[in-house]
Amino acid sequence: MKLNDLNTNPWTLARRAEKMNPSVIREILKVTEKPGIISFAGGLPSPRTFPVSAFSEACAKVLREDGQAALQYAASEGYGPLREAVASQLPWLVDPAQVLITTGSQQGLDLVAKVLVDAGSRILVETPTYLGALQAFSPMEPEVVSVDSDAEGVDVDDVAAKAGTGASRARFLYVLPNFQNPTGRTMSEARRAALSARAAQLGLPLIEDNPYGDLWFDAPPPLPLTARNPEGCIYLGSFSKVLAPGLRLGFVVAPRHVMPKLLQAKQAADLHSPSFNQRMVAEVMKHGFLDRHVPTIRALYKSQRDAMLAALSKEMAGLGVQWNTPDGGMFLWARLPQGMDAVALLPKAVAKNVAFVPGAAFYADNPDPRALRLSFVTASVDQINTGIAALAEAIREARGA
């Protein structure tokens, strides 16, 4: 008799594991690996923006001048000069001691959840919101409450109505004020001012996620929420969208009384983010590199947004499809005609070699089946024209059926 014959499944999964679900986007990306697929699905920065030569030079310099330290274990807080560079570039006074370097800003969301959320804790999110945040929060078993939102951002009165009191008071409101994923919308100055004031009045902490804030097209977005009330906010940023996502580097800026626990959670997770990558980024950022490099990203993404808007206007005429015009970032938000379902449309679109992300995945509750997210930054203008035409044909066929 073989040993395996005696065993049934010996593994008992933690209850929190039941809350973990595969990323809808990651599953769709597998489909886009099919040859010939034009993908508007993934939130992937354009590889054309990656500063390969700058990193090549930085890599050689880091290894030549400080290779042994760069390849050694390092401080959990992050590389000192990089933390100083982050602090110096933020539009409010930040002590580098309040900056924690993370393994992508996604890890920042994970650390926030571990430190601030208990089972049953109420947390507030926008409608819709970033899928990766919902995935980071859900293993902690919170009560996730969606706040009404419009083109200007969250409804401040609804925030107050759902913030709760006493033991049921929400632990935080999670927001992406700039070029939000998935909708591409930007919170207006008036709404930011009102939200900041009301949150302070309620004693409601804000988690401000800002991976896209530098990717504005015509004018920079209003002042961050955290700049208005640093002690009432945790701020998350990323190097993925302005340098390269493969580095897996982001950062958290937190109040002094929260930082020690975030640091301890970071130590338990991975000791520290890759020290070599941190030193490379710090080297690349010297001498104002981002001030020269990021405008080239903005120009490219703006031209691709304009191409998608033009293609939508041409191909979707008369179909009853609606969409917005984002002022920056990587995404626009569309809505199918009455009675249609984006999840049902997706395989029909894939059959025509075009992919998108159904919007339902981005809702904590009461999803809109007609919504879908389109990314305009990785496809070429020719691919955008071809892909939007194919999507329009899929919609026509679905409406006819």
Report whether pLDDT(379) > 70.
yes
Q: What's the token pair of residue 331?
A: 């995404």
272: region left, alpha or beta (phi > 0 left; psi from -120 to 50 alpha): beta
Phi, psi of 181 (to 5 degrees): -95, 115
What is the rounded distance in angstroms from the CA atom of residue 240 to the CA atom of residue 247? 7
Predicted pLDDT of residue 177: 98
Predicted pLDDT of residue 371: 98
Summarised one tens digit per residue, pLDDT across range 203-257 is 999 999 999 999 999 999 999 999 999 999 999 999 999 999 999 999 999 999 9
Summarised one tens digit per residue, pLDDT across range 55-106 is 999 999 999 999 999 999 999 999 999 999 999 999 999 999 999 999 999 9
Report whether pLDDT(3) > 70.
no
- The correct CATH number of 52-289 out of 2.120.10.30, 1.10.10.10, 3.40.640.10, 3.30.300.30 is 3.40.640.10
Which whole number is the average pLDDT over 183-195?
98
Report whether pLDDT(2) > 70.
no
User: pLDDT confidence of 25, banded at 50, 70, 90?
Assistant: low
**Kind of pairing, strands 173-175 and 206-209?**
parallel
Tell which residue, 125, 127, 148, 139, has the closest CA to residue 207: 125
On average, the pLDDT of the chain sits at: 95
Predicted pLDDT of residue 8: 77
Q: What's the token pair of residue 308?
A: 């998608």
Q: Any idea where the domains of the chain sit in the sequence? A: 15-44+292-400, 52-289
**Kind of pairing, strands 371-375 and 331-335?**
antiparallel
DSSP state of 216: B
Considering Cα of 312, then 318, then 319, then 322, what sign does the dihedral take? positive
Predicted pLDDT of residue 6: 58
What is the rounded distance in angstroms from the CA atom of residue 83 to the CA atom of residue 99? 6
Tell which residue, 166, 229, 224, 237, has the closest CA to residue 199: 229
What is the rounded distance in angstroms from the CA atom of residue 309 to the CA atom of residue 314? 9
Architecture in CATH of 15-44+292-400 = Alpha-Beta Complex (3.90)
Minimum mean pLDDT range among 25-29, 93-97, 179-183, 323-327? 25-29
Summarised one tens digit per residue, pLDDT across range 314-369 is 999 999 999 999 999 999 999 999 999 999 999 999 999 999 999 999 999 999 99
Inter-residue contact 253 to 91 (CB < 8 Å): no
What is the rounded distance in angstroms from the CA atom of residue 391 to the CA atom of residue 349? 6
Inter-residue contact 210 to 176 (CB < 8 Å): yes
Longest Cα separation, the chain? 73
DSSP state of 288: G
pTM assigned to the model: 0.94
Q: Tell me the CB-side half-sphere exposure of residue 219, using CA atoms within 13 A.
A: 6
Which whole number is the average pLDDT over 157-162?
98
Q: What's the token pair of residue 222?
A: 């209003």
Summarised one tens digit per residue, pLDDT across range 126-148 is 999 999 999 999 999 999 999 99
* Residue position matching structure tokens 């049902």: 344
The sheet carrying 206-209 orders its strands as 99-102, 250-253, 233-238, 206-209, 173-175, 122-125, 143-146
User: pLDDT confidence of 26, banded at 50, 70, 90?
Assistant: low
Q: What's the token pair of residue 378?
A: 């990785």
SS3 content of the chain, % helix, strand, coil (to 5): 50, 15, 40
Predicted pLDDT of residue 1: 52
Number of H helices, E strands in the chain: 14, 15
